[in-house]
Amino acid sequence: MGIVLGIDIGSSATKIVAMDKSKTILNSLKVSASDPVTAMYGAIGKLLCEERMQIADVEAVMLTGMGASYVEGDVYGLPTTKVTEFDALGTGGLYLTGLEEAVVGSIGTGTVFVHAGPEGIWHIGGSAVGGGTLVGLSSRLFGIRDVEVIADMAEQGNLKNVDWGIAELSRDQMETLPDYATSSNLGKMKSTATNEDVALGLMNMIFQTAGTLAVFACRNVNLKKAVIGGSTATLNQGRIMLGQVGELYDIDFIIPKQAAYMTAIGAALLFQSK
């Protein structure tokens, strides 16, 4: 069948996509396991089962992500290639949006940005602040590590109980910033703040940090579009908060469908382009 498996082996989850020769995505799924190799094989087995495919139907395996370094040799005897996370991210971002050039970022455990365009893909930079920060702090503060549960909590939160806004700290209107802009993440923290307020404050800090870095990256290469992938970015709060940063600095943040699988998709596409 000529199916290519693109697999992004991350620190907290492994994402896999099956792509045919026409570059159609047949299926995508995520598997979590503490061991990256176990997660990879589990993801392959689950996908083949769901698609009722055999190993013989797979032409090649393309690996990327930090966990790919733990995989040695060919997977199930199939031609297996490792590609850099930067190349996979940039390739996947352009493919999912149809853009010719953009800053492409991923908010996963941490945050990373590349400049992708006709002349190639270059790593711009990133931050250790990301979904891992949200999980770690939430685990310490609330005893909760499930991102979906944290996001549900945040839906009931109020930022006015944890964040300082510019209008609260200055009488003067700043020419380039609206009154609602955040002056200090978590700096206000009322004694009456609830766990829901704090959860929302954590998410605001993480997405504003990632969004601001994306703005700097776009300005560095003179672009107005930032394509954002990664599981954390697909949360409802991510779309809202990144959108607010975009409005503030005139940057178009795009979170495409299949954003969570952007890097795995890019890995599969890199086989097709060989």
Asked if the structure places residue 269 within a domain, the reply is no
Structural domain ending residue among the three candidates 54, 82, 110 = 82
5 strand-pairing partners: 18, 61
Question: Are both 19 and 131 inside the same structural domain?
Answer: no
Evaluate whether 153 touches 198 at the Cβ level (below 8 Å): no
Angle at 47 between CA 57 and CA 110, to 5 degrees: 125
Question: Are both 9 and 69 inside the same structural domain?
Answer: yes
pLDDT in tens, 117-156: 999 999 999 999 999 999 999 999 999 999 999 999 999 9
Question: Are both 74 and 120 inside the same structural domain?
Answer: no
* pLDDT at res. 273: 66
Q: How many domains does the chain have?
A: 2
List the domain range (segments joined by +) for residue 34.
3-82
Res. 172: pLDDT tops 70: no
Averaged pLDDT score across all residues of the chain:
94
Asked if the structure places residue 271 within a domain, the reply is no
Structural domain ending residue among the three candidates 82, 110, 131 = 82
Tokens of 104: 């492409």
Question: Are both 16 and 145 inside the same structural domain?
Answer: no
The DSSP symbol for 125 reads E
Q: How far apart are CA 58 and CA 27, in angstroms?
A: 13
pLDDT in tens, 198-245: 999 999 999 999 999 999 999 999 999 999 999 999 999 999 999 999
Asked if the structure places residue 50 within a domain, the reply is yes
Query: Residue 252: phi, psi to the nearest 5?
Result: -90, 105
Query: Residue 71: phi, psi to the nearest 5?
Result: -95, 125
Question: Are both 150 and 128 inside the same structural domain?
Answer: yes
Res. 100: pLDDT tops 80: yes
Structural domain ending residue among the three candidates 27, 59, 82 = 82
Question: Are both 125 and 211 inside the same structural domain?
Answer: yes
User: Domain holding 204: CATH number?
Assistant: 3.30.420.40
Question: Are both 28 and 121 inside the same structural domain?
Answer: no
Asked if the structure places residue 189 within a domain, the reply is no
